[in-house]
């Protein structure tokens, strides 16, 4: 292998679709759940991996993370050098952009890697290796958040992983956009989207969520938020929900990865 080939970023160019506020639900969760770790870390670095054709998501990530960790720095990493060049005018204190891919070409290990809508175009069989590579680049106690959302950020599902492996799956939505919780199935991350079939845990979870949602129909009179909270509360009797009402009120629910992990 030549030095030129060895230096080639790992991965392929994504469609690059991006919109302002597209990742606000993921950012809000990261800030609430991982903010204390970032605040306690000396000189923490967060990576927005595959930010796309415009730098909005990286700019927003810095703004949101700094509400919890004022010292955090964000690096946007893109495999397309033209996108990096286009983003450079938006650099400022705490925000830079780099050419790269899954190898995360930084001199120090980041405390956070956010990879949103990056693995959608990959085969399911490629996901585990990408996760392993990205986890290996995390600082001790770091967090990898990988998931998928729709174009304007109304529906989003992500997996949170530590250096040791996947931990949780979070479902998040603007509740007024849902007819039923299983509408989120179209935004399952690549590791789960092809497993939404009978016999797989994620299919059973969404089935039970829809049933709980139907049972909570009387609470719709008080608004979609109250109906969601009631449905999630019912789920806790059968599934390892790891968060509580404070997050449920945000239109979220987080479940232990082991309960939804693919079989076989």
Task: Tell me, yes or no, whether 225 lies in a domain.
Answer: no
For each successive 10 residues of the chain (264 residues), what is the average pLDDT? 56 81 97 94 96 95 97 97 97 98 97 97 96 97 97 96 98 96 98 98 98 98 98 98 97 98 90
Residue 128 lies in a domain: yes
Q: How far apart are CA 134 and CA 127, in angstroms?
A: 11
pLDDT in the model for residue 17: 76
Please count the CA atoms within 13 angstroms of the CA of 120 that sit on its side-chain side: 20
Provide long-range contacts, Cβ within 8 A and 24+ apart, for 196-204: 199/263, 200/262, 200/263, 201/259, 201/260, 201/261, 201/262, 201/263, 202/169, 202/260, 202/262
Note whether 155 and 194 are within 8 A (CB).
no
Q: How far is CA 244 from the centre of its chain?
A: 19
Helix ranges (H only) for the chain are: 3-6, 24-40, 56-65, 81-87, 124-136, 190-193, 201-215, 224-235, 245-248, 257-260
- Yes or no: say if 46 and 146 are a contact pair by the CB < 8 Å rule: no
Here the CATH number for the domain that contains residue 250 is: 3.40.50.150
193 in any annotated domain? no
Domain count, the chain: 1
For the stretch 142-168, what's the b/e string if a residue is b when 16 or more beta carbons lie within 10 angstroms of its beta carbon?
bbbbbbbbbeebbbbbbbbbeeeebbb
Q: Is residue 76 part of a domain?
A: yes
Asked whether residue 233 is domain-assigned, the answer is: no
DSSP 61-112: HHHHHTTT-TT-EEEEEES-HHHHHHHGGG-BTTEEEEE--TT---SS--SE
Can you give the residue range of the structural domain that contains 256? 14-174+239-260
- Report yes or no on whether pTM surpasses 0.85: yes
Tell whether 203 is covered by a domain.
no
Three-state DSSP at 165 gives strand
Looking at residue 4, its pLDDT comes to 37
CA distance 19 to 107: 30
């Amino acid at each position: 292998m030549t030095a030129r080939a060895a230096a080639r970023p790992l991965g392929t160019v994504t469609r690059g679709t991006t919109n302002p506020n597209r990742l606000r639900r993921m950012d809000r969760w990261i800030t609430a759940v991982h903010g204390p770790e970032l605040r306690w870390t000396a000189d923490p670095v967060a990576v927005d991996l595959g930010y796309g054709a415009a730098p909005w998501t990286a700019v927003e990530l810095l703004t949101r993370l700094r509400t919890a960790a004022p010292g955090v720095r964000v690096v946007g990493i893109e495999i397309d050098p033209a996108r990096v060049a286009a983003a450079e005018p938006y650099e400022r204190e705490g925000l830079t952009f780099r050419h790269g891919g899954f190898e995360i070409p930084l001199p120090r290990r980041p405390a956070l890697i956010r990879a949103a809508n990056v693995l959608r175009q990959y085969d399911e069989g490629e996901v585990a290796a990408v996760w392993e590579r990205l986890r290996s680049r995390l600082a001790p106690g770091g967090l990898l958040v990988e998931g998928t959302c729709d174009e304007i950020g109304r529906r989003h599902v992500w997996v949170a992983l530590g250096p040791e492996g996947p931990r949780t799956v979070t479902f998040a939505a603007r509740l007024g956009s849902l007819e039923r919780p299983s509408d989120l199935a179209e935004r399952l991350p690549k590791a789960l989207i092809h497993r939404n079939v009978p016999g797989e845990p994620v299919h059973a979870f969404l089935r039970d969520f829809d049933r709980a949602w139907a049972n909570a129909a009387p609470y719709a009179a008080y608004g979609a938020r109250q109906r969601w909270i009631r449905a999630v509360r019912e789920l806790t009797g059968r599934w390892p929900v790891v968060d509580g009402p404070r997050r449920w009120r945000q239109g979220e629910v987080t479940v232990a990865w082991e309960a939804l992990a693919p079989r076989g």
